[in-house]
Structure 1
């Protein structure tokens, strides 16, 4: 069906059905939305001719449907992308302005906000979410306090009770999966119940300490999610109502745990093998659709939640993988997960709907995951409430390769991990920050691509002429930069980017506010867990405290653990400041202050990446290079002890003997 040309976007809200994109109600398709985790633009062979990772199932999907080359996750990190996908609203409008939800995080989607799952239920769909949630829960606790992993690395959570405010309260009839594969609790959750009691402790190198189900096997998580999804498809195909399956995979996010049949099969190490297993999962889902007879009337979408991981946790990360294996997970793009450059959020996007989406075609239309909501509404010929999906545009014409009079999205907003924003319109993108780099791009990469540093307050790139974002045009295009900045401000201020009545953005939650403004003072026994812990990644900082030791051992203050974190402590008569950067320990030390004497001690991580120690305002040891902490730790900040996995060379909790008062942590946002 070829509909009429699209009406001017200024006259018709994206929330209304467009004539060119509507379908008869009887043709309601099943919808399967597969969201990979940290899969890069260059990890799928159909996007990267030089890929070292075979992806035959995804390549087949591309041939059977339509491949988008300019698709974007709404954020360059996990939680905000999932929020935007399910609500049609950019997550920087939510209380989560920066970062991602921490372990035991509270629900991010407000209970009164319409989700795409609720909308589809209202229109006769069965709905399921199977996989990684990472949008928060309300965990019941034994003591009425906030949920946390305690000093014994177990938890105060009452696992015998239902877990409230999860997927089944946000529009899904059924849920099975894990909160986050490297977050506690390490146990499957079905609907609102954990599947067994996580009663043993977990301290593996790659994962946050916390309670674990006895016998828990990270390598079985992706296969189990795959099995559950296959069963759901086969069962749903026997029923008369259409179904919506939201399938957020746990791969290739760390822990990188390919099963034996995939080990050594790619040309890019364990990570490449795990991508191959992700591809296998997609094949199993497509086979289940074929076996059940549901494939002919199922819209399949495959994409990723953000760009590829840069840190050493995936061993090697995106930059090291280029040097070690000759494989670029970001393809030809600059940047990676967390960044505002294209590599942080431009992702593979494959679609298939036999007879409706033309097979073997490619689209260069700029689209975003946030567009799913309005697209489904148009497909069902339904009008959304004025406050629903305020950033979602109908991209059905692009899916069906129908003619339009212009771009379907007037502009698209990108969201970095630190809350910085960028706006894309046509070929131009304005990064409203001094740099799109939120990971510390390696110097060798800049030299290889001949990228020069600049002193401009923002970055402006023409992606058609400069797809690798090497040349900042901000200084020579001031009028265009000002125009794009004004449009970004308009989108921010109006509470929406689609036509319609003005709406309000949410204020940062009290927890989110404490992440950036709460600096102390604290004393021995204080603990800040989850969203209440300070942000310490990718920034200079100073931790300080007034101590009066009665013994020469013990932790003054610690945050993080064996992968990421910092601590200042006494050991065997030495005062030590330690950092962990991708598991690498760096320390600087000096003689400990005298016992029984009050002293002010400070550990400084400077803007040049060096760590130093001060006692009573005087430098006590020469600086040592550490580098910035690359990722926010899951372990809490604790004063007078280390409540979780040790940052330094000591056994937790290593309590401080004496008093710790007026402890503070001050940082400069990246």
Structure 2
């Protein structure tokens, strides 16, 4: 069971120190399992992060080496080669029932997506027996649900078109955050079924129904919830339940979703034999919801530097919690370095499968970090993939090397949807030696080096103090980036 939240930051759960939101269901999983403090998403951006999670391959290697760097757009084809081993296929090969329920955002079909035809190839060609959810992202059209390979409520007599007038969809006040205006016409019935404030409840219900239907055999559920991506549209019963505005209320709905899934496992006497993992696709984004929550005293990424899209820790260091009764020691914390790309190799080990290095790509088996107390690092190095290709960075042990100035993500000023970078860092009160009054200083080093062992919040750029480390890290990054075969560890 892999629960994959959207834009959930390192500071967004009470078991990670949040005080303005309460996440009792996720906290109970942490209490009964292990919480990681140095876990990272495969990218600081949603689509490439999902690619890395499902394939075990760094997203900068995707697309014939061109990489996947940003969110999947409206008409992009399926971004994962159907010949590539994925988490869905991994479990299917072992005889598990498999489902993906939630946000997909990895494209459909070949060439430009034709929304009026079966959406194939898609999740069903990647090893999932069943799919239900949002085909793209909750902030972008087509604003429909997809089940397996078709739009829910699709009417061939009223197909999707790109002619005006565009079909009406649900709208919300500015405090709910940015939602792109619908740019397609037709499909009025399908659009009428789609409701942002009902999506969280619907997805939880679908997950519970699927578990109930497959409880007699081994199963793997991939649950990529759209919470807490903008727009922040929790069901009405969650509104006002947090102390961090709609952003916090949306977290509460996510926690409820987790609770519903856990209750279903308990009801079916499956809880003691199920591995549950809860993590996020990237760090929190400092958009309208994140800024409003900050004004209420909530820090979406804790004290970490940076936000979604960027290469600083706040963009990709994420919550990671694992519970497996009798296997993972309860109420434990690990500081092992792990990544979303490690799930393929790790879950292959869980299911007792021997997978070739080529199929495992960049994935490392970190199962010992979940179930034991290894004395050595499971992963010695890790490439960090932000929005900007020139900021592709590398971590080795305590060292983090970024081959450029700045964050490689959004750089807008607070008050804008794309707030980030030096201006946002200054606004929230973080310190960094390269930044003064919201701008990078003129004499700042051309690149960045941080000792995360003593400076997790990246206050001091050590680039000029340790030139030999810079050289070593630069060479390691280049060799990893240029290699045609994965470099393990």
Residue 128 of structure 2 corresponds to residue 172 of structure 1: yes
User: Within 1, Cα distance between the matches of 2:87 and 2:133?
Assistant: 19
User: How far off is 1:294 after superposition?
Assistant: 1.0
Per the alignment, residue 309 of structure 1 pairs with: 285
Do 1:390 and 1:495's aligned partners in 2 also have CA atoms closer than 8 Å?
Answer: no
Residue 471 of structure 2 corresponds to residue 482 of structure 1: yes
Per the alignment, residue 300 of structure 1 pairs with: 276
Q: Deviations over 1:446-499 (max 9, x none)?
A: 373343335322110011211111110011111101101111111112234444
Q: 2:148 aligns with which of 183, 188, 191?
A: 191
The verdict on how the C-alpha distance between 1:443 and 1:190 changes in structure 2, with shifts beyond 3 A counting, is: closer
Could you say what secondary structure the match of 2:258 adopts?
Answer: helix
Do 2:247 and 2:293's aligned partners in 1 also have CA atoms closer than 8 Å?
Answer: no
Q: Deviations over 1:519-564 (max 9, x none)?
A: xxxxxxxxxxxxxxxxxxxxxxxxxxxxxxxxxxxxxxxxxxxxxx
Equivalent residue pairs, number? 445
Could you say what secondary structure the match of 2:476 adopts?
Answer: helix
Per the alignment, residue 113 of structure 1 pairs with: 84
Do 2:101 and 2:133's aligned partners in 1 also have CA atoms closer than 8 Å?
Answer: yes
- 1:302-451 equivalence runs, <5 A: 302-311=278-287, 315-318=288-291, 321-322=293-294, 324-404=295-375, 406-419=376-389, 420-440=391-411, 441=421, 443=423, 445-446=425-426, 448-451=429-432
Per the alignment, residue 175 of structure 2 pairs with: none
User: How far off is 1:164 after superposition?
Assistant: 1.1
Per the alignment, residue 72 of structure 1 pairs with: 40
Per the alignment, residue 181 of structure 1 pairs with: 138
| Mean Cα deviation higher: 97-106 or 281-290 | 97-106
The verdict on how the C-alpha distance between 1:461 and 1:497 changes in structure 2, with shifts beyond 3 A counting, is: farther
Do 1:226 and 1:281's aligned partners in 2 also have CA atoms closer than 8 Å?
Answer: yes
User: Within 1, Cα distance between the matches of 2:381 and 2:424?
Assistant: 33
Could you say what secondary structure the match of 2:275 adopts?
Answer: strand
User: How far off is 1:321 after superposition?
Assistant: 3.0
User: How far off is 1:437 after superposition?
Assistant: 4.9
Do 1:129 and 1:248's aligned partners in 2 also have CA atoms closer than 8 Å?
Answer: yes
Residue 198 of structure 2 corresponds to residue 220 of structure 1: yes
User: How far off is 1:381 after superposition?
Assistant: 2.8
User: How far off is 1:76 after superposition?
Assistant: 0.3
User: How far off is 1:342 after superposition?
Assistant: 0.3
Q: Deviations over 1:24-68 (max 9, x none)?
A: xxxxxxxx00000001100001111x5211111111111011101
Higher strand share: 1
User: How far off is 1:101 after superposition?
Assistant: 1.0
Could you say what secondary structure the match of 2:124 adopts?
Answer: helix
Do 1:43 and 1:51's aligned partners in 2 also have CA atoms closer than 8 Å?
Answer: no
Do 2:234 and 2:250's aligned partners in 1 also have CA atoms closer than 8 Å?
Answer: yes
Q: Deviations over 1:154-206 (max 9, x none)?
A: xxx452x3111110011111111111222222211111111113766147461
Do 2:362 and 2:488's aligned partners in 1 also have CA atoms closer than 8 Å?
Answer: no
User: Within 2, Cα distance between the matches of 1:353 and 1:304?
Assistant: 19
Per the alignment, residue 418 of structure 2 pairs with: none
TM-score (norm 1): 0.64
Per the alignment, residue 243 of structure 2 pairs with: 267
Q: Deviations over 1:415-465 (max 9, x none)?
A: 011223111111110012222252223547437334333532211001121
Do 1:257 and 1:274's aligned partners in 2 also have CA atoms closer than 8 Å?
Answer: yes
Per the alignment, residue 5 of structure 2 pairs with: 36
Do 1:393 and 1:498's aligned partners in 2 also have CA atoms closer than 8 Å?
Answer: no
Unpaired segments ≥5 residues, structure 1? 1-31, 140-144, 148-156, 501-670
Q: 1:494 aligns with which of 483, 486, 489?
A: 483
Per the alignment, residue 447 of structure 2 pairs with: 458
The verdict on how the C-alpha distance between 1:343 and 1:333 changes in structure 2, with shifts beyond 3 A counting, is: same
Do 1:422 and 1:432's aligned partners in 2 also have CA atoms closer than 8 Å?
Answer: yes
Q: 1:162 aligns with which of 118, 127, 144?
A: 118
The verdict on how the C-alpha distance between 1:444 and 1:97 changes in structure 2, with shifts beyond 3 A counting, is: closer
Could you say what secondary structure the match of 1:261 adopts?
Answer: helix
Higher helix share: 2
TM-score (norm 2): 0.87
Per the alignment, residue 507 of structure 1 pairs with: none
User: Within 2, Cα distance between the matches of 1:233 and 1:316?
Assistant: 33
The verdict on how the C-alpha distance between 1:297 and 1:220 changes in structure 2, with shifts beyond 3 A counting, is: same
Using CA pairs below 8 Å that are at least 6 residues apart, which structure has the higher relative contact order?
2
Residue 167 of structure 2 corresponds to residue 201 of structure 1: yes
Unpaired segments ≥5 residues, structure 2? 161-165, 172-177, 412-420, 435-442
The verdict on how the C-alpha distance between 1:297 and 1:82 changes in structure 2, with shifts beyond 3 A counting, is: same
The verdict on how the C-alpha distance between 1:279 and 1:158 changes in structure 2, with shifts beyond 3 A counting, is: closer
- 1:547-562 equivalence runs, <5 A: none
Could you say what secondary structure the match of 2:105 adopts?
Answer: coil
User: Within 1, Cα distance between the matches of 2:209 and 2:276?
Assistant: 17
